[in-house]
A and B are shown apart, each in its own frame.
Chain A
Amino acid sequence: MPVITTLEKAVREKLALVKDPEIDSVSVLDLGMVEQITVDGSSVQVKMLPTFMGCPALEIIKANVENKLLELDWVENATAVFVYDPPWTSERVTAEGRERLKEFGIAPPPEKIGPDGAWHVDCPYCQSTYTTMDNIFGPTACRSILYCKQCKNPFEAMKPVSTMM
């Protein structure tokens, strides 16, 4: 068992280096996309959860994960597969991931959604709460476009996604 734990740890360290192709401050681990790591001898399988199904970055992420794991001396086969169960939800973004998103100028997903589906995020630049929604649909499937009336910057936010919707 301790051997497997060490190997898994090595895998996780590598996965921490696989960044979102469009947000290079966050890794697939930060985004909560990694569901399960299975090490079997020299083979590694990583079960991953897609954020949005139509995301064109999925195939790139899959290839990046596999190539990164092949950098480990002992890995001969690396496969990343996308599964839908459990579904990815925005709650899966880690505390570290939330900070890294802000660094990139993207507000992390709101922690609470109102009963009517309304949600609110603060400005990732000046932390002001005086923000307005510009477009719920943003430049990628997982983001919305907002505007900060305090520092007068447009910014993006990770869309909240929950099974309650």
Chain B
Amino acid sequence: MKSAQEAKADQNYRATLMELLYQLADDDFIIAFRGSEWLGLAPHIEEDVAFSSINQDTMGHAAIYYQLLEDLGEGNADALAHGREASQRKNAVLLEEVNGPGHYLKKPLYDWAFTVVRHYFYAQAKKIRMESLKNSSYQPLADAAVKINMELYYHLLHWKTWFTQLATAKGEAPERMKNAIEKVSADMGGVLTLGPKGEEMAALGLIESEEVLTQRWNSEMEKVFAPLPMSLPAVKMKRGDGRSGVHTSDLDSALTTLSEVYKQDPVASW
């Protein structure tokens, strides 16, 4: 399919494509929000600059997907980003989880190890997805993937560096990384799944199958873990499938915060 016009003419294709776009959009949107809560709190000033830049890029990626949804007749991109309830969101549960106890305005007790592991695992999964989407049957999505992939290169490099350095550091770091790896793995399955419509997505050539993508992610992880003094536990989906609309209260509170200004005046021009 070359254009939104063509996709709109095929109801089944459009519906399956939109399912995929919502997953891609909502994943990037919520992890960019969680990342931005670290602003001013990152371990050092250079990291504050880098992490902000990554969050800004990632929010830009979410904006592309919401725009593709708008092009398919789903309504205004800003409304799709800010106006949807938690139950309508398709992001993985892992990505909505708070950075740690406390609040960024009061006493944030955020866990950097959890953030590094979550962002690294996610960036690697996203990389595999982008490589597959470059050959998507929906050309506007394939074009977007080429663009996103170039920026993602820097994100993946960044998180991989943090990941391997902390995992092999002296002191408390490896122990904290081990705990974070346990925690992230328990819900990483929710990131890797394409949800109830995954098979249809693959059949329509929108993206390769969940099995193929998961296999690629596992083999990348094996390479990275090989020299490390720790191993990757089995990946699970402990708290449910966000692709089916299952979410935690962490998503509700995130949506309340991030849409606060938007909801004051949805038609305001920025």
Contact = CB atoms under 8 A, between A and B. Distances in A.
B50 A137 contact: yes
Nearest to A89: B150
Contact of A53 (B52, B57, B154, B157): B57
Contacts of A87: 143, 146-147, 150
Interface stretch (B60-68, B86-94, B111-119, B215-223): B60-68
B150 A162 contact: yes
Instruction: Sort chain B's interface into a size bin.
Output: 20 to 34
B-side interface mostly: helix
B149 A165 contact: yes
Instruction: Sort chain A's interface into a size bin.
Output: 20 to 34
Contacts, number: 75
Given A84-B143, A85-B143, A85-B146, A52 B50 contact: no
Contacts of B147: 50, 53, 84, 87-88
Contacts of A54: 56-61, 63, 151
Contacts of A145: 49
B53 interface: yes
CB-CB nearest 7 A-B residue pairs? A54-B60, A53-B60, A137-B50, A165-B153, A137-B53, A85-B143, A54-B56
Given A54-B63, A136-B157, A161-B150, 15 more contacts: A53-B57, A53-B61, A54-B56, A54-B151, A87-B147, A89-B150, A117-B153, A135-B50, A136-B50, A136-B158, A137-B51, A138-B53, A141-B57, A141-B151, A165-B153
